[in-house]
Structure 1
């Protein structure tokens, strides 16, 4: 029995840190749409341990990338997770080359309730925000009836990401 639990936990952990081909395809579609390109290259952003340990949002070699087309920097994207009422949901934030949010999209929402957090209209509130912004739920970002926990969580995750981007920009990593 312990062996089954161990194997299940191992499979869960390894799968939670990889991005499926389906998710990669969704991300590629959004990037191509935002930057009006047919092809692009992504390059992960390397961050030293001394900078990484002080960031509000954990940045790894699998969640934050520079986006290039013909060796010209187009922008950046971050793949993250936020917590709903009982489960995590996956989202991306696409930044332009000036680190202004171009788009936020929920890729996978795993709960029965609160899926309104993935609506384009609600997510458009984050577009145009920059590293200088500090977003306040119900003031800067509208509340969603029936998705309070997910909406607050998403707002908090975006805030942590904006603060992280600000630090990385100050440290000249971006």
Structure 2
């Protein structure tokens, strides 16, 4: 009976990992979560938001793009994965929040344009670290030749910060 319980836990963990985010991004997300929180094992779980609140959020969240990250019964933080427009395509990015809902890491996962890929540089992305819903992003530096992508990334991060702020006001993160 004990073995059956362990099997169910392992299978549930695999299910949460396998179906929470797009398949082509799973390994990249896993790498970033592990390096950010310096853990080898963790689980994702859905942040359930009622439909009325969902309609008021600047960033659209779902079980497929916003999850709580836990390890050993403790909330480590949250991860958000989405796409943002560049000049002629879209790029995939992630934002990892710590358990105080401040940005711990941002990362451009896949950039599909010939120009503007500089927004994926660690140096530029570091500007977002420590930002929370109380901050504005007016101090984020521009990048010559990547104007559209820079504006898009800033808008996208600002939207998820505003969304997290609204959810925080409505006590969706009360376990923190």
> Normalised by the size of structure 1, how large is the TM-score?
0.86
CA distance in 2, matches of 1:163, 1:154: 14
Q: Which 5+ residue runs of structure 1 have no aligned equivalent?
A: 1-16
> How far did residue 70 of structure 1 move?
1.2
> What is aligned with 1:144?
143
Which residue of structure 1 aligns with residue 155 of structure 2? 156
Corresponding residue for residue 72 of structure 2: 70
* Whole-angstrom CA distance in 2 between matches of 1:25 and 1:104: 16
Query: Quick one: distance in 1 between partners of 2:65 and 2:21?
Result: 10
- C-alpha separation between the residues in 1 aligned to 2:94 and 2:151? 16
Asked if 1:55 corresponds to 2:54, the answer is no
Unaligned residue ranges in structure 2 (runs of 5+): 1-19
Cα displacement string for residues 118-170 of structure 1 (whole angstroms, at most 9, x for unaligned residues): 0000000000101101212xxx0100011000000000011111110000000
CA contact (8 A) 2:21 2:65 kept: no
TM superposition shift of 1:18 = 6.0
The 1-side partners of 2:44 and 2:64 are apart by: 11
Distance 2:52 2:141 in 1: 36
Corresponding position of 2:85: 83
Tell me the distance in 2 between the aligned counterparts of 1:61 and 1:37.
Answer: 22
User: Given the two structures, how large is their TM-score scaled by the length of structure 2?
Assistant: 0.85
- The aligned counterpart of 1:94 is 96
Give CA-to-partner distance per residue, 1:44-91, whole Å, 9 cap, x none: 111100000000111112110000001111000100111100111000
* TM-superposed deviation, 1:29: 0.6
RMSD: 1.2
SS in 2 for 1:66: strand
Q: Which residue of 2 aligns with 1:171?
A: 170
Where does structure 1 differ by over 3 angstroms across 4 or more consecutive aligned residues? none
Structure 1 CA distance, aligned partners of 2:67 and 2:107? 16
Give the paired residue count: 154
